[in-house]
Amino acid sequence: MNIGFIGAGHMGSAMIEGLLKAKIVAPENLFVKGGSSGTAEALQEKLGFQLINDYEPLKKCQVIFIATGAKIVLDILKQAAPSMEKDTILISVATGHTVKEAQTVLGDEIHVVHAIPNTPVSVNAGMIGAAFASDMPKETKNEAMRVLESLGKVEEVNENLLGTFGTVAGCSPAFVDIFMEALADGAVSEGLPRTLSYEIIAQMMLGSAQLALETKKHPGELKDGVTSPGGSTIKGVTALEKNGFRYAVIDAVKQANS
Ligand SMILES: NC(=O)c1ccc[n+]([C@@H]2O[C@H](COP(=O)([O-])OP(=O)(O)OC[C@H]3O[C@@H](n4cnc5c(N)ncnc54)[C@H](OP(=O)(O)O)[C@@H]3O)[C@@H](O)[C@H]2O)c1
């Protein structure tokens, strides 16, 4: 299979890395068109895919991703449309447009998927929300799912939920990164080395997430299991509540989604 990419910025490069790691496409079958800043060229030197300068080579691709800024995505699709063969799957990860708008630009012969991924796709541990054109044939949808699932877990959602899905799955890695950094600051101030602190914290978060996914227990129940009466954990939990931790998190989601 040949895969095409328009845009290799933060999200584009994370997906390109994930697709190559998953070996769903070989570097010689991956055609990437970047913008003008040289980001795609630098990535090409590292990953060895086919760098393209115009949309023409996309004719060879059965699946094309677009990962450009939201404001320009429909204009770029208009320019790229003549280079898309019938039955191409177009996966847009750009925000700010609908499946219908992309479909209007591309015509009925192209199958449009609107997906919102997050940066862990680069290590094939992404959380991706996907909305499909309503008339997409089953085999085409399965093929799009196969490609997306190589990057992580995929949930099909109604397109009007993609925005909030993107906030929770796409913005939260930054919230979690700040939480990890703050935990490490606390650990370092109590005497643990910095590098060791980051390693402990990342593994702890991975384990906590795995426990939640595998047991399907309510987060409150998992928390109760760690807090023994009069123990140190409940003292920490009390400090978090006193400092408005829950409200800070809820407000972060609300602000990011506004
Ligand atoms: N970052 C995330 O976590 C995330 C999550 C979900 C969805 N998204 C969505 O994904 C899209 C991209 O986000 P991003 O964070 O990756 O932004 P970004 O880092 O700014 O990347 C956008 C890329 O598009 C390239 N570009 C512009 N015009 C182009 C053209 N004509 N042909 C090919 N490439 C072109 C730019 O290249 P040059 O800079 O070289 O000009 C840039 O590298 C956005 O719509 C965003 O909302 C992002």
pLDDT at 96 over 90: no
- Of 131, 120, 130, which Cα lies nearest the Cα of 209? 120
Asked whether residue 11 is marked as a ligand-binding residue, the answer is yes
59 C-alpha vs ligand 1 centroid, how far in Å? 22
Q: Whose CA is nearest to atom 26 of ligand 1?
A: 35
For residue 127, CA distances in Å to 94, 96, 141, 226 come to 15, 19, 18, 27
**What confidence tens digit (pLDDT) does each residue in 184-227 have?**
999 999 999 999 999 999 999 999 999 999 999 999 999 999 99
Would you state the pLDDT for residue 196? 98
Return the residue whose CA atom lies nearest to atom 28 of ligand 1. 35
- Which atom of ligand 1 is the closest one to the Cα of 33? 33
Please provide the DSSP assignment of 39-99 as one string.
Answer: HHHHHHHHH--EEESSSGGGGG-SEEEE-S-GGGHHHHHHHHGGG--TT-EEEE--SS--H
Statement: residue 231 has pLDDT above 90 = yes
Q: What is the model's pTM? A: 0.91
The residue whose CA is least distant from atom 1 of ligand 1 is: 11
Q: Which 3 state secondary structure label does DSSP give 23?
A: coil
**206: Cβ contacts below 8 Å, ≥ 6 apart:** none
Contact 245, 238 (CB under 8 A): no
Report the length, in residues, of the chain.
Answer: 258
Write down the CATH number for the domain with range 3-157. 3.40.50.720
Residue 7 known to bind ligand: yes
pLDDT tens for each residue of 132-189: 988 899 999 999 999 999 999 999 999 999 999 999 999 999 999 999 999 999 999 9
Reported as a single tens digit per residue, the pLDDT across 31-82 is 999 999 999 999 999 999 999 999 999 999 999 999 999 999 999 999 999 9
Alpha helices in 96-231 (DSSP H): 99-106, 138-149, 162-166, 172-189, 194-215, 219-224
Pocket test for ligand 1, best of 32, 68, 123, 157 (most atoms within 8 A of CB): 68
CB atoms within 10 A of CB 8: 28
CB contact set of 65 (below 8 Å; sequence gap of 6+): 3, 4, 5, 6, 7, 12, 15, 91, 92, 93
Query: Residue 84: pLDDT above 90?
Result: yes
- Domain locations in the chain as residue ranges: 3-157, 165-256
The pLDDT value recorded for residue 240 is 98
Would you say domain 165-256 falls under CATH 2.40.10.10?
Answer: no
The answer to whether 12 is a known ligand-binding residue is no
Q: Among 11, 15, 56, which residue has the most ligand 1 atoms within 8 Å of its CB, making it the best to mutate? A: 11
CA-10 nearest atom, ligand 1 = 16
Pocket, ligand 1, Cβ cutoff 6 A: 6-12, 33-37, 39, 67-70, 72, 76, 93-95, 116-119, 166, 170
Check: CB of residue 70 under 8 Å from CB of residue 94: yes
Classified as helix, coil or strand, 36 is coil
For residues 4 and 31, the answer to whether their CB atoms sit within 8 Å is: yes
How many angstroms does the Cα of residue 63 sit away from the middle of ligand 1? 18
Distance CA 29, CA 118 (A): 24
Candidates 5, 10, 41, 164: which one to mutate for ligand 1, based on the most atoms within 8 Å of Cβ? 10
- Integer-rounded Cα radius of gyration of the chain: 21
pLDDT of residue 134: 84
Bridge partners of 6?
A: 33, 66
Which pLDDT value is given to residue 94?
Answer: 94
